[in-house]
Chains A and B, each alone.
Chain A
Amino acid sequence: MAKYLITQSLLSSWLYIYDCFEGNEDGAMDAFLHTLRREPEDLDDEQRQRIQNGIDFEQAVYTEASGQPRAPHPKWEHGICEIAAFLKGAQFQVKAYREIEIAGITFLVYGILDALRKGVIYDVKFKNKSFGSLDLAGDYLGSPQHPLYFYLVPEARQFRYMVSDGQDLYIEQYEPEDCPSAADLILQFVQFLKANNLLDTYLQHWQARS
């Protein structure tokens, strides 16, 4: 029987339609349709650099946490070491998947955990802007990531977003009982797809390989 992938980035892209800046709903819907059709993103150099910064930062954190040799980073050393101190002994980039049946469709929830250790899932986030110009508290309350990851790893007791701008560390943590169920989120997603005649598009592009 066919199974269909659900990832946190797909659900984030959908939820952004409700959470985008006022007047940007059409742009958010277009971005979601790109994601839904699995079309490559059209990024400018600055966007590409921001994404690359995040990848480089994460990689440096994992290298440091694993105790492997690396050269100190000229700008982000403090942030790298602060997060790495929490992640010592963790397993990195752990793939996880689990089936769920909603509205007669079998979904395969899939995710890659940045780090996992002793019942705690860690997700490393890099901010290109310094904390002084941000207000992070509560930023991840509505994220589908922790509900989905708790579904993927039901034995986990806590999910921690580890956010850094390269200098400072901000941690936001959630426990399973604090978040909506993955089933509810996926059901709402399916209802949205049906209401907007997009279910076929999803089924066409997100079938899991057997």
Chain B
Amino acid sequence: MIVSPENMTFDGKKFSMILYGSPGIGKTTLALSAPDPVLIDFDRGMSRVRSQHRKTAIFCDTYEDVLNDLASPDMKQFQTIVVDTGGSFITYLQDWAMRADPKVNCQKNGAISLKGFGAVKMEFSRFTSYVKDTLNKNLIYVFHSLEQMDKDGNPQVRLMCEGAAKNIVWTPCDFGGYVQMIGDRRDVCFTPEQEFFAKGCHGIKGHWTVPELGPADTNDFITKLFDKAKANIAAEAEEYAPLKEQYDRVMEMVHQILDTVKDEETANRALQDIPNLAHALTSKRESSAMLSECAKNIGLIYSKSAGGFVRKEEKEA
């Protein structure tokens, strides 16, 4: 299906998010404020959510149980999968990896092997893209935070997760929010600071204060945040779509001009023509680099004094 920018809608756009913070700060309740969530309760944390804000949950003994539940037709009613916690999920994956291939993934003492850690990391990535791309759901990973000291002894907060997954988990996620108390206020921060890492996207950045939830209040903080992100995407698309289209048009013309470059004369004609195109984004700089490369390939070099390309041997002489 070919869709032009003016006909694009982002209503169905799905997001992935990391929420991390200290135990007891309300991360699970916050994650459950996403649209139509189901919580995979690896950490048995649903009991700590106030009864009026509890949602449907998947309780499991093994990772295979989770995969079976996710494949069930009942999942259609949910828009968001909450993995609580990401750290416990890794523990389940380790158990799965060691059972699936004990010879390779298990050490003699029963601990997971290096190859086992590799298998866990691969499955973590596969699971993330399965939920986002195949099931087409929002995905929220909840992590506990770990306070450590940096090399100067300053406190630094990181998400609690074993192995390489702690780094690869950030790449596919749209938002990474650090949940913290600031005085009496509970904030989620989406902009990195020296003390902690965070990730914003689609205009969602800085501190967002989480309102105190009363018994009758609707728990919809993240639903509203996702709606705001969708509105920002639409606005950004409206603003930048013409620039991107212009960029594509110009780059096509640049390629056509470069195809004509065969010698000093055509290279210097291209040198005059390319800057006069209606450039957008970084097209001018990119096309300049392309022309230099093209000229170099046919033995030409730019001479400041000549104000154009000359044969390399002429400049050297």
Contact = CB atoms under 8 A, between A and B. Distances in A.
Interface string A142-173: 10000000000101110000000001111110
B171 A169 contact: yes
B285 interface: yes
B277 to A, nearest CB: 14
Contacts of B293: 91
Given A116-B289, A157-B281, A131 B164 contact: yes
Contacts of A136: 167
Nearest to B198: A138
Interface residues of A, number: 34
Contacts of A94: 285-286, 289
A191 interface: no
B22 interface: no
Interface in B143-178: 151-153, 158-159, 163-164, 166-168, 170-171, 176
Contacts of A168: 121, 164, 167-168
Given A20-B151, A94-B289, A138 B171 contact: no
B282 A117 contact: yes
Task: Name the prevailing secondary structure of the A interface residues.
Answer: loop
Contact of A22 (B121, B151, B158, B163): B151
A156 B285 CA distance: 10
Contact of A153 (B163, B164, B240, B285): B285
B192 interface: yes
A116 B282 contact: yes
A19 B152 CA distance: 8
B286 A169 contact: no
B134 to A, nearest CB: 20
Nearest to B121: A168
A155 B168 contact: no
A91 B286 contact: yes
A137 B199 CA distance: 10
B166 A135 contact: yes
Q: Among A21, A90, A138, A153, which residue has the most Cβ atoms of chain B within 10 A? A: A138
Given A21-B151, A117-B286, A170 B167 contact: yes
B152 A22 contact: yes
Contacts of A178: 191, 205
A90 B244 CA distance: 15
A138 B163 CA distance: 17
A109 to B, nearest CB: 15
B151 A171 contact: no
Contacts of A119: 243, 247, 281-282
A116 B151 contact: no
A123 B293 CA distance: 20
B164 to A, nearest CB: 4
A130 interface: yes
Contacts of B197: 137-138, 141
A135 B121 contact: no
Contacts of A170: 167-168, 170-171
Nearest to A94: B289
Interface in A103-135: 116-120, 130-132, 134-135
Contacts of B285: 91, 94, 96, 116, 153, 155
B15 interface: no
A28 B272 CA distance: 48
A157 B205 CA distance: 16
A131 B167 CA distance: 7
Contacts of B164: 130-132, 167-168
Contacts of B282: 116-120, 153, 155-156
B117 interface: yes
B194 interface: yes
A118 B191 CA distance: 24
Contact of A137 (B170, B205, B289): B170
A178 B6 CA distance: 29
A118 B196 contact: no
Nearest to A156: B282
Interface in B266-317: 281-282, 284-286, 289-290, 293
Interface string A75-96: 0000000000000001100101
A129 B294 CA distance: 38
29 contacts: A20-B151, A21-B151, A22-B153, A91-B289, A91-B293, A94-B289, A116-B282, A116-B289, A118-B247, A131-B164, A132-B163, A134-B167, A135-B167, A136-B167, A141-B193, A155-B282, A155-B284, A155-B285, A156-B281, A156-B282, A157-B281, A167-B164, A168-B164, A168-B168, A169-B171, A170-B168, A170-B170, A178-B191, A178-B205
7 tightest A-B contacts by CB?
A: A138-B197, A119-B281, A137-B197, A131-B164, A91-B289, A132-B164, A21-B151
Given A156-B281, A157-B240, 6 more contacts: A19-B151, A118-B244, A118-B281, A132-B117, A135-B158, A156-B282
